Chain A
Amino acid sequence: MEIKTEQFTEAVKRELQNARSRAFLKLMPPVLHMKRDISLATFPDIPAAQAYGATIREEAMERLPELLEEFEKNALANGARVFWARDAEEANAYITNLAKERGVKYVTKGKSMVTEEMGLNEVLSKNGVEVWETDLGEFIAQQLHRPPFHIVGPAINVPVEEVCDLFMKKANMKEPTLDPVKLGYAARLFLRDKFHHVQMGITGINIAVAETGTIINVENEGNIRFTKASPPTQVSVMSLEKVVPTMYDALHLIRLLCRNCTGQKLSAYVSMDSRPKKKDEIDGPEELFIVIVDNGRTKIYQDLKARDVLRCIRCAACLNICPVYRQIGGYAYGWAYSGPMGQVLNPVLLGLDRTQDLYRASTLCGACKSVCPVGIDHPSLFLYYRAKDVLGDPYFKGKRRPWMEEHIFKGWNWAVNRSWRWNLGIRMVRPYINKNAAGGVIRKLTRSFDGWFRSRDLPPMAEKTFHERWSEIKEGKG
């Protein structure tokens, strides 16, 4: 998938002008957030349920290497085959090769963020293997050649009129309709035909269970179930952090995932697969491949602070509550992952140098942290990345900041631990600031503050600061 994280500001401007995106964003994220609240209320103790999720993921991260080995051992014993891919290229090459060896003409795919990250679809297509996304939203996004707008609902912003046009052209729909149910049915009919003859299906994995070697997918459309059960060859791809110790842990994460994601107590389908079909069984694939993708995660894992981003279970609660996402939508983040979870994950996967806007375009309001079911502290990670960036940290490729900014903070630092310098600085700066005041307000300063003054005023600096007034206030005159 093309990386456009450096075009953040341009994309923001574009999206803020996009009336359709704006109308959608006013409505949908708040509704999803409200549904989340309602479904969470079915827990007897919401904070405890969320904290339990954080503990499960914390333990999984603590024990990640051994859990992955345990998972592999059990998956192999069940008859699955496991491939470890160091990066996207290795994973893509392996999967492409599987398809070629079997003479596969096309694959059906279940929704999967990691294959989005890997750019698997592009690689398969280039190698002559057609790819059919079978999640309704993914199918629409794929046919429109658009990146995901939301990590759970990738085409959730596309209006029905556009979907209708698209399905008339590309999904054999006979009659135009604006009825979402009928549109969904048209896609179902079209894709059902693909499932009939499919030779290879590719899905992601929501949770991998170490103690049983089971892979779990959570979905609402049944297309993942089809993709896993219809073809003779099933390929399931997971980024390496998806593993949890026990089935008991997995079940609690499913409870949290569904509630935090779509506001459901349970999604319409939860499929748990451990093995290819046995000789006497009717359903299931003849062979099951599990691809475990690193693609930069071991590097993240080795940094004890950044490691926390690997807890994420992709529920998107942080997107739905984020005041920035609610303004700009998913495109501006410029890659597979958007919203706060993307803002903490993309920088350490791609490098701090080309994702500066992702970890800086946050007010640090903490709404994301307040809803996260696995205890990720997004604002703290933003501060961590900003600090690494300022230092030009080589590990995560910090870029350093503009000369001017560095010098402003040097000056600030000179003054901050000596109050006489601090107050001297204030007395020196005040006339320069206040000469811009007119009618009791400042409407403009130097160009570097245009961002603020474009639509906001500032009061002038006080003729007497609180510090300077204290002697009067102390006497009770203030």
Chain B
Amino acid sequence: MKKDVSLFIPCTVDLFLPHIGEATVSLLRRGGVNPVYHPEQTCCGQPAINAGYQKEARQAAKHFIEVFGKDETVVSPSGSCVCMVKYHYPELLADEPEWRRRAEDLAPRVYELSQYLVDVLKIEDLGSSFAGKVAYHESCHILHGLGVSEQPKKLIKAVKGTQWIPLNAADSCCGFGGEFANHYPDISEAMVKDKVDNYLACGADLLLLCEPGCLLNIGGYLSRNHPGKKVMHLANFLAGNGREG
């Protein structure tokens, strides 16, 4: 009997990038576990807490805890959503002891995908291959929030035929920040331009990352300004041998 792993699908993935969810399923199956999906899941509440709507975010948190609370393992292809559940839920529910306890109880069972594959399943080589050069963008919530940096690199470096290209300022923010990108376009554009310029300069064929938000931002900028260049979620890269979907 394979171990069940609960899929925590970020709403950005659900609505705009479902192929990331499918790739996540495929990788977990390759990893020998059984992905299950609770159709009752909605949004973790990140947009609300970031905008300052904590009462509303609290509603989302309680719903999430109701849906996922009994799962042994919860895995998501987004570092920021995982940070929300692991770190913000207990704080958000601080004044409601029973909810807080449930949030704290759930927190250690929630993982970002690459973290789960490498740290828990102890898998680095997923049998993928890609003949080309790739660079990796260290998304802020993955790096600073979860302290995950080596795990995605190990997964990438195990892909047959892939050449790892160092990216200048790989760990600097791409300028997404949810509402930030829309409210402060001057700053956000300058940031994503720097990120893309570094990508173009490094000579990689493909830019990889583990965060759907950064993917929308960098991908949206590339689509508008450098249509030939691609950015891809690590899950798709590994599941589709460098081909999306």
Contacts and interface: CB of A to CB of B under 8 A. Distances in A.
A35 B220 CA distance: 35
B52 A389 contact: yes
A408 to B, nearest CB: 9
Contacts of B55: 413
B217 A456 contact: yes
A247 interface: no
A450 B174 CA distance: 19
B39 A412 contact: no
A456 B224 contact: yes
B96 interface: no
A367 B140 contact: yes
Interface stretch (B14-22, B99-107, B115-123, B151-159): B14-22
A473 B173 contact: no
Interface stretch (B43-51, B126-134, B200-208, B230-238): B43-51
B52 A401 contact: yes
**A contacts with B: majority SS:** helix
Contacts of A395: none
Given A413-B59, A417-B59, A419-B42, A458 B180 contact: no
Given A327-B187, A416-B56, A455-B225, A363 B25 contact: no
B51 A386 contact: yes
B145 A416 contact: no
A464 B18 contact: yes
Contact of B13 (A405, A410, A452, A466): A466
Interface residues of B, number: 67
Nearest to A17: B186
A452 B185 contact: yes
Nearest to A476: B29
Interface residues of A, number: 65
A362 B183 CA distance: 10
Contact of B182 (A443, A449, A470, A478): A449
A451 interface: yes
Contacts of B48: 409, 412-413, 416
Interface string B33-63: 0000101111101011111111110011011
A417 B15 contact: no
A76 interface: no
Nearest to B24: A466
Interface string B184-208: 1111111110100000000000000
A251 interface: no
A426 B18 CA distance: 14
**B contacts with A: majority SS:** helix
A415 B56 CA distance: 10
Nearest to B49: A383
Contacts of B176: 363
A417 B220 contact: no
Contacts of A464: 18
A365 B62 CA distance: 25
Nearest to B48: A409
B113 to A, nearest CB: 14
Contacts of A441: 223
B221 interface: yes
A369 B144 contact: yes
Contacts of A450: 185
A365 B191 CA distance: 12
Contacts of A462: 14-18
A361 interface: yes
A465 B187 CA distance: 32
A417 B179 CA distance: 22
A459 B16 contact: yes
B42 A451 contact: no
A456 B231 CA distance: 14
A363 B173 contact: yes
Interface in B149-177: 172-173, 175-177
Given A386-B51, A390-B52, A473-B25, A416 B180 contact: no
Contact of A422 (B25, B43, B172): B43
Contacts of A473: 21-22, 25, 37
Interface in B51-97: 51-56, 59-60, 62-63, 88, 91
Given A456-B220, A458-B16, A366 B145 contact: yes
Contacts of B88: 383
A16 interface: yes
A467 B62 CA distance: 20
Contacts of B190: 16, 327
Contact of A383 (B50, B183, B188, B189): B50
Contacts of A467: 9, 14, 39
A476 B172 CA distance: 38
Contact of A387 (B43, B52, B145): B52
B137 interface: no
Nearest to A359: B52
Contact of B60 (A13, A326, A363, A417): A417
A67 B193 CA distance: 49
Given A426-B15, A458-B216, A459-B16, A361 B39 contact: no
Contacts of A426: 15
Contact of A323 (B9, B26, B191, B224): B191
A129 interface: no
Contacts of B223: 441, 456-457
A443 B219 CA distance: 13
A454 interface: yes
Contacts of A166: none
A380 B220 CA distance: 28
B132 to A, nearest CB: 23
A9 B183 CA distance: 10
Interface of B: 9, 13-18, 21-22, 25-26, 37, 39-43, 45, 47-56, 59-60, 62-63, 88, 91, 140-141, 144-145, 172-173, 175-192, 194, 216-217, 219-221, 223-225
6 contacts: A16-B186, A387-B52, A409-B48, A452-B220, A455-B224, A474-B37
Given A323-B173, A416-B42, A470-B37, 16 more contacts: A323-B172, A363-B173, A365-B141, A365-B173, A383-B88, A386-B50, A413-B59, A417-B63, A449-B182, A451-B184, A455-B189, A456-B223, A457-B224, A462-B16, A464-B18, A469-B21
